[in-house]
Chain A
Amino acid sequence: MRRRNGTFVVLFLLPALFIYSTFFVFPIILGFRVTFYKSVFGFLDQYVGWQNFTLLFGAETFRNQFFNAIKNNFIFLGISLIGTNILGLTFAFLFSTRKLRGAGAFRNILFSPQIIPIITVGYISSLIFNPSLGTYDKIAGFLHFPDLFVNVLGKPNTALYTISIIEILRLLGFPLTIYYVAINDIPTDIIAASRIDGANDFRILLHIVLAMISPILITTNVLMFIGSFIYFDLIYIMQGYLGGPAFSTDVLGVFFYRTTFGGHHGGGDPGIGAVISMCMLLILAIVAIVGMLMQRTLRRRLSL
């Protein structure tokens, strides 16, 4: 019996593992080899040992850009995660517990920004916020917004926040859909019971619902964290490869791209770029492991 199982196991695991290892893992390992080389076009030109590491953390320009990028990453992450969670949970909770109509349509519409290519989101957003062609500035002018809220993508102190808010709107459908299903899963008697006990919605949400969906909360947030951490496409399209203005929207993804591929006219040092992606992977791995451990414990505690 055991032996037959063995063949079956191998047969079922092998295809996935093989393709994954050949076309994904192996190139990554090759990619990381570059960290020890000075490389002009990504091809291994000259072995330089740890020099790329010392350059990234030692040379002032790179170091400043690196930590600036990390800072921007966390601002962007913080705002988008907090925003999507609060909005997602609130709406999921309200629609689910109050059995409001239109939940399906609402979810569909909010999920649509995830379906369309991110380039289109970038182009359309750029158009709306364009000071000369876009409607946002005209509306802001009409409503007499303070100067701070005009030309939001062209100012260093507002650009990143604007992009974070755009991301909240783009991402919201994802947690909303998942939380809705999760909250629906909670046995209605528990919620009904606490209502009878006199708890108002807010307390129900906070104490009961959150606790009961906590494993899903963790998983969803880890996934969103990963997605937002390596975020690149939208900012590259809207603000260019320099993460402008004045590096205010330079996130790790953009910094990595710029360092590896250079700008319009070449340049770029793939060795240093590879070091950056290594650091990114490290941070992500830590977050993911912590998240998974938390999720396992919570799941076990909740096992019914």
Chain B
Amino acid sequence: MKRAFVLVVVLLASVTLTATLAFSQKTIELKHFNWRPEDLEKWGKIYDEFMQENPDIKLIDDPIPAANYFNNLEINLEGKQADPICSIWQNRVWNNNMFKRGYFVDLTALLPEFKKVPPHHQYNFMTNDGKAFAAPVSAQYTGMLYNKKIFKKYDLTPPVTWDEFIALCKKLKGAGVTPLMFQVKDAWHIHYAFDLMMKPFLGGPAFISQLMSGKYDFTNPKFVDALKRLKSLEPYFPKNYTGLGYSDAQNMVATEQVAIWPGCGSWEVYTIKNINPDVELGVFPTPVAKKGDRAYVTVFTDQGLTIAQSASEEQKQAALRFLKWMTTPRAGALVNKYIGFFNCWDTNVFEDEALKDYAALAGKNGELIISDWAILLSDGSPTATELIQAGISALMAGTKTAEQVAQDIKTGLSVWYGKK
């Protein structure tokens, strides 16, 4: 009797179990690896909208701090342990190398939406022969961020030429306000500021093509002059700025201790507003050499989503659905709304004044430059970013002259630059 009873219980249990399994919807878990722990909750909101339409997929944000991101990603991709969805950055050379090694799924045929994205935003995520491997998600501008209240108080208007810019700084300094924000400690931001302010003096597209041809001589007078020009701004930087870091910059701008932050990225606006919602910010174009010159804009396609080859077939299919959903103007609007970033459709709608100003920059000029010449030259070691950061650090600390810094960059790059 007892045996029969046990048998019945076991049978019932297994039937129930199978039934539950059959009828319960199996959710596929997808983790998204990226370098923005700051945006954890913001991405969550985007995922929520996607998951409402696709309840069988669960998206999880899996960010780690940016400083270790790319090394970690390399290791994980090689070890076939990467998350199904990985964000990659604007470093086109690196992106292509990784794709060549077979880490990412070829999206050329799978993601027809890619071809609908404006061409200049496709560039960072495709090979030279047109193969796509990442879905463009966000773009960034850098610009001359300024505090509107301070400008109003001292009756100032955004400068157009470099000389007007200097005059404005002098006036602010005279009135006891720190005109410019600049920090040296968190080296990664240095070349953003340098690149932005010196674009008018280094030359625009011509400069970039010379660089890419492998024949640029960094000791030429134009480059040295650009370095000297940066150094000449020193009196307008905060006191002891060599000891200040990036967080200090964010905080000081937010608490209105400085008037202008050259090279501030559009990705900072929401962060700064978070610290101090009352601050009124705007952006003006890079001061040019003389009236009538083009004020080049730094824009770059910032984040792209890839599907890791090491993911399971099921995960790849699910990830593809997410990527398709993200590569639409509709998702672009969500990127604007929730994360405060520019999308890759150039259909940006912002309520924030500063972000509107950033958007206006491209509108005025219509000429987009693939940002940051230094990042383009990172195909070997030492990279141009390392050298320019170290060089400017030495320049500002006073241990090297502009000529020496230019020479150092040239010598450093000579290990691999121009030798192909």
* Chain A residues within 8 Å of B, Cβ to Cβ: 40-43, 55, 59-62, 126, 129-133, 137, 150-156, 239-242, 244-248, 258-259, 261-269, 272
Contacts and interface: CB of A to CB of B under 8 A. Distances in A.
B188 A131 contact: no
Interface string B45-75: 0000000000000000000001100110011
Nearest to B387: A61
B252 A132 contact: yes
Contact of A265 (B91, B243, B397): B91
A241 B248 contact: no
Interface size class of B (residues with CB under 8 A): 35 or more
A132 B244 contact: yes
Contacts, number: 137
Interface string B228-252: 0000000000111111110010011
Given A40-B97, A60-B411, A133 B383 contact: no
Nearest to A237: B67
A5 to B, nearest CB: 44
Interface in B170-221: 184-188
B382 A267 contact: yes
Given A242-B389, A246-B397, A59 B415 contact: yes
Given A41-B74, A132-B248, A245-B242, A265 B188 contact: yes
- 4 shortest interchain CB distances as A-B pairs: A154-B243, A154-B242, A131-B240, A267-B383
Contact of A266 (B91, B185, B241, B243): B91
A155 B75 CA distance: 36
B93 to A, nearest CB: 9
Contacts of A133: 248, 251
B383 A265 contact: yes
B248 A41 contact: no
B303 to A, nearest CB: 14
Contacts of B252: 132
Contacts of B67: 241, 264
Contacts of A266: 70, 91, 94, 378, 383
A163 to B, nearest CB: 13
B240 A150 contact: yes
Nearest to A154: B243
A148 to B, nearest CB: 13
A240 B385 CA distance: 14
A236 to B, nearest CB: 9
A217 B196 CA distance: 56
Contact of A244 (B185, B381, B382): B185
B367 interface: no
A137 B91 contact: no
